[in-house]
Structure 1
Amino acid sequence: MSTQNGSVKSNGAPSILQKIYAQRRQDVEQAKSTPGTTPADLDTLLSLNLAPPVISVVDRLKSGPKPGLMAEIKRASPSKGDIALTANAASQALTYALGGASVISVLTEPKWFKGSILDMSLARRAIEALPNRPAILRKEFIFDEYQIAEARLHGADTVLLIVAMLPTPQLKALYSYSIGLGMEPLVEVNNATEMQTALDLGAKIIGVNNRNLHDFNVDMGTTSRLADMTAGRDVILCALSGISSSEDVRQYIDQGVGAVLVGESLMRATDTTAFIRELLCLPPKTEAETLRPAAPLGKVDGVSTPEEALQLAKEGAGLVGVYLSPEHKQAVSLKQASQISLALRQLRPNKVVEFDSVSKETPNESWFHAHARRTASVLNVTSVPLLVGIFSSDSSLDNIVHAAHCAQLDAVQLSASAPLHWASHIPCLVIRSVPASANLRELQQVQKPGLHHFVQVEFDGEPGAVNAQALVGQWGVPVILGTKGVIGESQIAALTEGTRPWAVCMSIEGYKSAKA
């Protein structure tokens, strides 16, 4: 056992840190000797680029709220015992991310902290589709390059290196290895000697742990006493442990602290999002009406001529749909779709349009909220409907992509049976059509973020539509209400009231009939 600051406590008994270190050495050796997770296996997996993309934790902390919040997922600890054993890492991570966290710290030590590398992997996957996701920190007792490679492979953007636990040569080697994988480590210190070691190392993020890892006692003044050592340096100073109120945070801000790590208080909070806002002195979070606006957009399908499209644009339609599968009775050719596209594009402003400015400090929002907001913003500026190419289940991915490029489609609409992953290959917005009578699994599947951007639910009068209406009304997804199988304005009004859709769709015949 090699620790920089003493090998045993004054009474000769091993410290808590040493007990954890000894156990983790056994755990790591077992993992390294297990077929499939050997160091050579990890090197191969990394060389295959299987690790998810990394973001700069330094940039993330500098661009978010001040101070940055490192929100920790921690089920238990040696000092506090069980904290939140039933906590779900993925759900907690998403709550932290949408609440305003800049970094999500995931404890992956299993015996004392009840964590795992799977927790970190699932936390990363839960926030993957967010437009401004927090960085993921592997909070672990790291002493081996293997643990850093493992962290990178499972989605970490940064790792923790504890000066108290590592001889200086080993600390330097681990720091360099982490940098080589694109991860700037969080270097943890507890006293002036360790702080100087971290500064000499060139660390850009230094965390002062208010908790002494040998006896786990907390002294909130530890960060305050060391703050001056980073003054004037290009270093993000972080206060770790013991922080439970906005008063604690304000005190540290005045001392130059750029980020705070909070774990237990967040895990015990009744309303996690409200507590985050309170900690960071941010206004209460309100959800914009991007998914369910008071006045839904209009979508008209079956348009076949530029004249029809221009008339719909004049009358305020938000989306215009053209059928591009030859077997459809209202199908248009690619040439006709291109003519419709050109007619609509000529209506768009021919000068530079001033959009609302967007910075890296834009608060996080869900995948679906982000696309609904951006699309609505574009429509508000241009006042020209989006052109949607509608494809059947017989359409191939190559045909869809070809049509999107040739006709300069703004969006494509896929059938319910089209593979979910196709959306990642399509160079424009994607709407997925699904019947309201679909089974529960199918209806849940279309709520997965990171794939399509909107869901069109076709209410066709089937018995299952009643249940679907209640379900869809609770979705966190922008829904286009398909009314082609619904008879009568009163039924459409009832469905609209129950689902509060982002847009309401009808056929060109139905639209003309309603106008007559």
Structure 2
Amino acid sequence: MTILDRILAQKEIEVRELKAIYNAHKVETVQERPSLYDNFQQTEKINVIAEVKRASPSKGAINENVDPISQAKQYEQAGAGAISVLTDVTFFKGSMADLSAVAKTVKVPLLCKDFMIDRIQIDVAKDHGASVILLIAAAMSEDRLKDLYDYARALNLDVLFEVHNEQEAETALKIGARIVGINNRNLKTFDVDLGVTERVASMLKGENILLVSESGIRTRADVEQVEAAGAKAILVGETLMRSDNIAETMSDIRVPLLKAVK
């Protein structure tokens, strides 16, 4: 059983629990945020989705004692175009409380980073302030992905549709995904290869799709490599979480969009 299989099995348990106890309440008015898609299409530098990430299955503890509010403020002040908050409890040590706290702190687009397999999770994410949700092509059938994609869009949420290979990129095209994240990490082996972005991006050019390169982005050279392949954005977690100077790290990785801006 792969780590993804284990995570999805846990999500099935969580969904059953949510359906028993959770009602989409929308007690507080959710702050209107700018569209990630629209904002990211208009910039002249690579867009950074900066991630609040306490731990991961592949790296273990990264910064378990992080103050998500302080971290998110630093990201926004340093120029992050959006912020991602890990909300998975079991494998990433995150929480919806983290998402809610960050939602009250920043004004940029906010991604609920979790393994979505049911509509109720999308309701919960929106209730806690998310303006973007994640769908992972490898996690579900095309029919279920399409249902959740359409449901999220009907709620005026952006969707980061994550793919790992050419076949999943075809699924993204069929579904009509307009923000596609190309994950450079193999979910079975956890090996990271930036060449994945280069290979898969070639299938998605010319489709008015916003390409986001995910995982393994550590240096300016890494960013330049995926930008040259067509990525307009990068999702960065561990590198920023371990940084001693977030402003300096952010400045270093926000390279000009040479391929996208004439």
Smaller-chain TM-score range?
over 0.9
> Would the aligned equivalents of 1:210 and 1:239 in 2 still touch at CA under 8 Å?
yes
- Does residue 1:120 correspond to 2:99, yes or no? yes
Q: In the aligned structure 1, how far is the partner of 2:153 from the partner of 2:166?
A: 24
Q: CA deviation at 1:32?
A: 2.2
Structure 1: runs of 5 or more not aligned: 1-13, 128-132, 283-516
Cα distance per residue 1:408-465 (max 9 Å; x no partner): xxxxxxxxxxxxxxxxxxxxxxxxxxxxxxxxxxxxxxxxxxxxxxxxxxxxxxxxxx
Could you say which structure has the larger radius of gyration? 1
- Does residue 1:68 correspond to 2:47, yes or no? yes
Equivalent positions of 1:284-295 (< 5 A) are: none
> Would the aligned equivalents of 1:16 and 1:215 in 2 still touch at CA under 8 Å?
no
SS at match of 1:101: coil
Q: In the aligned structure 2, how far is the partner of 1:55 from the partner of 1:281?
A: 22
1:81 aligns with 60
Aligned residue type for 1:171: L
2:201 aligns with 227
> Would the aligned equivalents of 2:223 and 2:255 in 1 still touch at CA under 8 Å?
no
- Does residue 1:101 correspond to 2:110, yes or no? no
Q: CA deviation at 1:60?
A: 2.2
Q: In the aligned structure 2, how far is the partner of 1:135 from the partner of 1:63?
A: 14
Q: In the aligned structure 2, how far is the partner of 1:79 from the partner of 1:281?
A: 27
Q: In the aligned structure 2, how far is the partner of 1:233 from the partner of 1:170?
A: 23
SS at match of 1:63: coil
Q: CA deviation at 1:75?
A: 0.7
Q: In the aligned structure 2, how far is the partner of 1:17 from the partner of 1:238?
A: 21
2:70 aligns with 91
Could you tell me which of 17, 30, 52 is aligned with 2:4? 17
Q: CA deviation at 1:49?
A: 6.6
Q: In the aligned structure 2, how far is the partner of 1:151 from the partner of 1:75?
A: 18
> Would the aligned equivalents of 2:45 and 2:255 in 1 still touch at CA under 8 Å?
no
SS at match of 1:265: helix
SS at match of 2:74: helix
SS at match of 2:202: helix
2:259 aligns with none
- Between 60-69 and 236-245, the greater mean CA deviation after superposition: 60-69
> Would the aligned equivalents of 2:135 and 2:160 in 1 still touch at CA under 8 Å?
yes
Could you tell me which of 59, 83, 90 is aligned with 1:111? 90
Q: In the aligned structure 1, how far is the partner of 2:238 from the partner of 2:146?
A: 31
Q: In the aligned structure 2, how far is the partner of 1:21 from the partner of 1:255?
A: 31
Q: In the aligned structure 2, how far is the partner of 1:211 from the partner of 1:281?
A: 22
SS at match of 2:222: helix
1:254 aligns with 228
Task: Output the TM-score relative to the length of structure 2.
Answer: 0.94
Q: CA deviation at 1:29?
A: 1.6
Q: CA deviation at 1:54?
A: 3.9
Q: In the aligned structure 1, how far is the partner of 2:80 from the partner of 2:8?
A: 29
2:16 aligns with 29
Q: In the aligned structure 1, how far is the partner of 2:51 from the partner of 2:94?
A: 11
Aligned residue type for 1:203: A
Q: In the aligned structure 1, how far is the partner of 2:196 from the partner of 2:100?
A: 32
- Does residue 1:264 correspond to 2:249, yes or no? no
SS at match of 1:106: strand
Aligned residue type for 2:241: M
Cα distance per residue 1:445-495 (max 9 Å; x no partner): xxxxxxxxxxxxxxxxxxxxxxxxxxxxxxxxxxxxxxxxxxxxxxxxxxx
The percent identity for this pair of structures is: 39
> Would the aligned equivalents of 2:36 and 2:158 in 1 still touch at CA under 8 Å?
yes
CA RMSD of aligned residues (A): 1.4
> Would the aligned equivalents of 1:54 and 1:156 in 2 still touch at CA under 8 Å?
no
Equivalent positions of 1:195-214 (< 5 A) are: 195-214=169-188
Q: In the aligned structure 1, how far is the partner of 2:149 from the partner of 2:255?
A: 34
Paired residue total:
256
Aligned residue type for 1:20: I
Aligned residue type for 2:254: L
Could you tell me which of 12, 17, 37 is aligned with 1:58? 37
